[in-house]
Amino acid sequence: MKSKPSKRSTLEHLVFDTTNESFFDNSVLDGADSDLLLLEEYPHIIDAAGLCICMEGEIEITIGSQSYPVKKDDLCIIFPNDILYVRNKSADFKGYLLVCTTDFFQLLNVASGTSIYLYIKDNPCISLKDKDRESLIRMCDFLKEYDLRREHPYREEISKHLMFSIIYEVIGIYKKGEPLKQVPYSRKNQLYFNFIELLAKSYSMHRELEFYADKLCITSRHLSNICKEMTGQTAKECINRHLITNIKILLETTDMTIAQISEELNFPNASFFTKFFKEQTKMTPKEYRNANVS
């Protein structure tokens, strides 16, 4: 992963480092680290797909706007463009981490419209049985061992097939996992999750309802009705909620001025930005920052 600059100015991306000529990396996370994966002080947008198995201790992670208490033998799955934040890590925490590049992840037949993708996206953290945990870690170690065989003419092909096997092992765990049960996803569910995924990528540049409806090949009214049914909020309210969540992150965790945040998120000017924020939160950005930053 790329290192964090000394002074943070925006909601940054945690980018997978491909300079080692590999599409994946795996490692053991140690709770003694002062800032685990650079995620304890600031949230980051994750430019990778990954899994983390808690082997000892416990940790609380926030994915998007949802927090999950993660304990021993729990598995967490991260998708590209997830906003990840690490909190309340115990000193004895140890975790096994495997990540792969976004480009490789997109090669998989686990597209965003499939029911299993939606199900895992909706349930990113589950508990593992001993056999499943041991098997998964063994497969990850096996992947790393084979990838080190630089002299082998088919090293890359073997490594990629081993990664496919690991991913389908995870899918298998989800399909048979208890007490989890498979939930059939309707066309409306798929459209909603596609909307949320698109929103995470485009919110800073596009906040027009028509933009998202056009991308999804449906009418604005249909998209708003879907969001209303799924969340109780209209599509425009979902867009504003996502935007406000990210503005709050910038206010809490960066030194950016109000004008800089306004420009970063493509508002016409700082006054318009302040008016929008106050309409949504009943506070000005400055008041929110003063109340939430010590």
pLDDT in tens, 189-219: 778 878 887 888 888 899 999 999 999 999 9
Contacts of 63 (CB under 8 A, 6+ apart): 76, 78, 82, 83, 84, 124
Q: Which amino acid is at 146?
A: Y
The CATH label, of 1.10.357.10, 1.10.287.3510, 1.10.10.60, 3.40.50.620, for the domain at 187-292 is 1.10.10.60
What mean pLDDT value characterizes the chain? 83
Instruction: Spell out the domain ranges in the chain.
Output: 13-176, 187-292
Question: Which of 32-41, 108-117, 217-226, 254-263 has the weakest average pLDDT?
Answer: 108-117
DSSP state of 148: T
Better-scored residue on pLDDT, 16 or 197: 197
The predicted-structure confidence for 31-75, as pLDDT tens digits, reads as follows 877 677 767 766 778 888 999 999 999 998 888 767 788 999 999
> What integer pLDDT is reported at residue 5 of this predicted model?
37
Q: Which residue has the tokens 């590999």?
A: 22
> What integer pLDDT is reported at residue 3 of this predicted model?
38
Q: Which residue has the tokens 């600059």?
A: 5
Q: Are 206 and 236 a contacting pair, CB within 8 Å?
A: no
Whether pLDDT at 180 is above 60: no
In this prediction, residues 71-95 reach a mean pLDDT of: 88
* Rounded Cα–Cα distance for residues 280 and 273 (Å): 11
Better-scored residue on pLDDT, 66 or 2: 66
The pTM (predicted TM-score) of the whole model is 0.64
Whether pLDDT at 116 is above 80: no
Whether pLDDT at 19 is above 70: no
> What integer pLDDT is reported at residue 120 of this predicted model?
84
At the fourth CATH level, which superfamily is domain 13-176? Regulatory protein AraC (2.60.120.280)
Question: Which of 68-77, 178-187, 277-286 has the weakest average pLDDT?
Answer: 178-187
